[in-house]
Amino acid sequence: MSTDKFTTREVYSPLKIAMDVANRYGEIPQVMAVVLGGSHSVQRADSVSDIDLYVYSSEEIPHDARYNLAASMGKDVEINNQFWENGDEWIDAESSFHIDVTFRNTKWIEEQLDRVLKHHEASLGYTTALWYNVLNSNLLVDHEGWFSKLQTKAKQPYPDELREAIIRKNHRVLRRSLSSYYYQIRLAVSRKDPVSINHRVAALLASYFDIVLAVNLVLHPGEKQLLTLVDEQCKRKPDNMRIHVNQLLKMIAQDDMQVIRTTDLLLDGLDAFLKAEKLDKIL
């Protein structure tokens, strides 16, 4: 019988493990809330999914307190990773689940929500990802009801002004500007530079999906399984979207003009989609 770590996981409850960790963080004075995010919070976890926890605090938690907590619960402890957000990680000693803890300041996340919900500021891709994260988090610890209030604030209709800002900003950078991703892809193809092509195509797709999601008033769920999630949650999509996206990704390593032709097909389809939705007038 296999005893690898993914088989061992099957007999443990991720929610119970998350709750145990959350309660430990809840004992730290600076902590205001601990929530479960990621795939476990939206019932999309698989056998290799991490347990993603978000710890919200009014002040920075001392690193020694973070290390002592992690070391008491697991092995291979990593403290204060700064690759994306501030985070700690470890492997749960009993279940072998990968525990991934992200630390956020309460004022910072309030400002991030205001940025999209109040000020309607668009980003180049992933504009509503933090909004989605807050809205879909499972509350585990909530001192003073702070996170409950934040989540209530997040439960509001998608602002039309934000929708238009996302479409306008991200569409322009696709191929309507001298510094567009399309222009950069053409340069990379002419130089036969597949690494640069890959970099620009990834950015182009981030803006492309931000537009498609915004048209449908659907919050950005993150990059994992994005094609599947768009198929499931977006009633309206560009024709042949999945086909064109998959074709483009397959063409990257060929670094020839087929990359350009496939990019044109993808973006022509998006333009036709926006025109059919009568959203071309806001560009």
What's the pLDDT tens digit per position in 45-88? 888 899 999 999 999 999 999 999 999 999 999 999 999 899 99
Q: Are residues 85 and 167 in the same domain?
A: no
Q: Are residues 61 and 170 in the same domain?
A: no
pLDDT of residue 92 exceeding 70, the answer is: yes
Binned at pLDDT 50, 70 and 90, residue 223 comes out as confident
Q: Are residues 24 and 146 in the same domain?
A: yes
pTM of this structure: 0.93
Give the distance from CA 113 to its chain's centroid.
Answer: 15
Q: How would you label 203-217 residue by residue, b for 16+ Cβ within 10 Å and e otherwise?
A: bbbbbbbbbbbbbbe
Q: Are residues 118 and 164 in the same domain?
A: no
Q: Which of 36-45, 77-86, 266-275 has the lowest mean pLDDT?
A: 36-45
Q: Are residues 22 and 145 in the same domain?
A: yes
Structure-token pair, residue 64: 């020694």
Q: Are residues 126 and 140 in the same domain?
A: yes
pLDDT for 68: 97
Binned at pLDDT 50, 70 and 90, residue 131 comes out as very high
Q: How would you label 186-196 residue by residue, b for 16+ Cβ within 10 Å and e otherwise?
A: bebbeeeeeeb
Dist CA 175 CA 216 (whole Å): 22
Residue 20 three-state SS: helix
pLDDT for 188: 95
Domain end residue (candidates: 154, 180, 205): 154
Q: Are residues 24 and 147 in the same domain?
A: yes
pLDDT for 4: 52
Domain end residue (candidates: 138, 154, 170): 154
pLDDT of residue 11 exceeding 90, the answer is: no
The pLDDT > 70 percentage for the chain reads: 96
Domain span at 32: 5-154
pLDDT of residue 144 exceeding 80, the answer is: yes
pLDDT of residue 1 exceeding 50, the answer is: no
β-bridge partners, 100: 52, 89
Q: Are residues 180 and 248 in the same domain?
A: yes
When pLDDT is averaged across residues 105-116 and rounded to a whole number, the result is 98
pLDDT for 46: 87
Domain end residue (candidates: 113, 128, 154): 154
Task: Assign 3-class secondary structure to 205-235.
Answer: HHHHHHHHHHHCCCCCCCCCCHHHHHHHHCC
Answer for the pair 116, 162: CB distance below 8 angstroms, yes or no: yes
Q: Are residues 208 and 247 in the same domain?
A: yes
When pLDDT is averaged across residues 138-161 and rounded to a whole number, the result is 97
The pLDDT > 90 percentage for the chain reads: 89
Q: Are residues 138 and 181 in the same domain?
A: no
φ, ψ of residue 179 to 5 degrees: the values are: -105, 20
> How many Cβ atoms from other residues are within 10 Å of residue 29's Cβ?
10
Number of domains into which the chain is organized: 2
Dist CA 203 CA 196 (whole Å): 11
Answer for the pair 244, 209: CB distance below 8 angstroms, yes or no: no
Q: Are residues 167 and 150 in the same domain?
A: no
Give residue-wise pLDDT tens across range 232-260. 999 999 999 999 999 999 999 886 899 99
More confident residue, 240 or 7: 240
* CA-closest candidate to residue 164, choices 282, 25, 37, 26: 282
Q: Are residues 73 and 178 in the same domain?
A: no
Residue type at 237? Answer: K
